[in-house]
Chains A and B, each alone.
Chain A
Amino acid sequence: MQKEAAIREPLILGHKTYHDITEDVCRPIEDKAPKMWYILFGIALIVGLYGVGCILYLLGTGVGVWGLNKTIGWAWDITNFVWWVGIGHAGTLISAVLLLFRQKWRMAINRSAEAMTIFAVFMAGLFPLIHMGRLWVGYWVLPIPNQFGSLWVNFNSPLLWDVFAISTYLSVSLVFWYIGLIPDFATIRDRAKKPVAKKMYSILSFGWSGRAKHWNRFEMVSLVLAGLATPLVFSVHSIVSFDFATSVIPGWHTTIFPPYFVAGAVFSGFAMVQTLLLIMRKAMSLEAYIHTKHVEYMNIVIMVTGSIVGTAYITELFISWYSGVEYEAYAFLNRATGPYWWAYFAMMTCNVISPQLMWFRKLRRSLLFTFFISIVVNIGMWFERYVIIMTSLHRDYLPSSWSMHYPSPIDIGVYIGTIGLFFTFFLLFARFFPVLALNEIKSILKGSGQSYKESPDYHKNH
Chain B
Amino acid sequence: MANKVIYVMYDDDGVLKDGAKKLVSKGIKIADAFSPFPIHGIDPIIGVKNTRLGIMAFIYGLTGLTLATVGMRYFMIVDWPMNIGGKPNFTYLDNILSFIPITFEFTVLCAAHGMAITYLLKNRTLPGMPAQNPDPRTTDDKFVLEIRTADNSIDEKELDELIKDTGYIEIDKKNI
Contacts and interface: CB of A to CB of B under 8 A. Distances in A.
Interface of B is mostly: helix
Interface stretch (A48-56, A149-157, A349-357, A393-401): A149-157
A186 B139 contact: yes
Given A179-B116, A221-B115, A209 B140 contact: no
Nearest to B133: A209
A183 B139 contact: yes
A217 B39 contact: no
Contact of B101 (A161, A215, A442): A161
A171 B111 CA distance: 12
Contacts of A179: 116, 119
B141 A18 contact: yes
Interface residues of B, number: 64
Contacts of A206: 120, 125-129
5 contacts: A18-B140, A161-B102, A211-B34, A217-B123, A221-B116
Nearest to A439: B37
Contact of B53 (A154, A221, A438): A221
Interface in A231-249: 231-232, 235, 239, 242
Contacts of B127: 203-204, 206
A215 B43 CA distance: 10
A440 B105 contact: no
Nearest to B84: A156
A144 to B, nearest CB: 11
B25 interface: no
Interface string B13-54: 010000000000000000011111111101100101011011
Contact of B139 (A17, A210, A216, A440): A210
A160 B102 contact: yes
Contact of B140 (A22, A167, A231, A443): A22
B40 A1 contact: yes
Interface in A157-209: 157-158, 160-161, 164-165, 167-168, 171-172, 175-176, 179, 182-183, 186-187, 189-191, 202-209
Interface stretch (B1-9, B75-83, B150-158, B161-169): B75-83
Interface of A: 1, 17-19, 22, 143, 150-158, 160-161, 164-165, 167-168, 171-172, 175-176, 179, 182-183, 186-187, 189-191, 202-221, 223-225, 228-229, 231-232, 235, 239, 242, 438-440, 442-443, 446, 462
B53 A220 contact: yes
B113 A443 contact: no
Contacts of A225: 112, 115-116
Given A152-B75, A168-B108, A225-B115, A209 B131 contact: yes
Nearest to A18: B141
Contacts of B116: 175, 179, 221, 225
Nearest to B128: A203
A228 B75 contact: no
Return the 8 tightest CB-CB contacts between A and B, nearest first: A207-B129, A18-B141, A190-B136, A215-B38, A206-B125, A150-B80, A439-B37, A209-B133
A438 B116 CA distance: 20
Contacts of B57: 224, 228
A202 B126 CA distance: 10
B38 A218 contact: yes
Interface in B76-133: 76, 79-80, 82, 84, 87, 95, 98-99, 101-102, 104-106, 108-109, 111-113, 115-116, 119-120, 122-133
A156 B140 contact: no
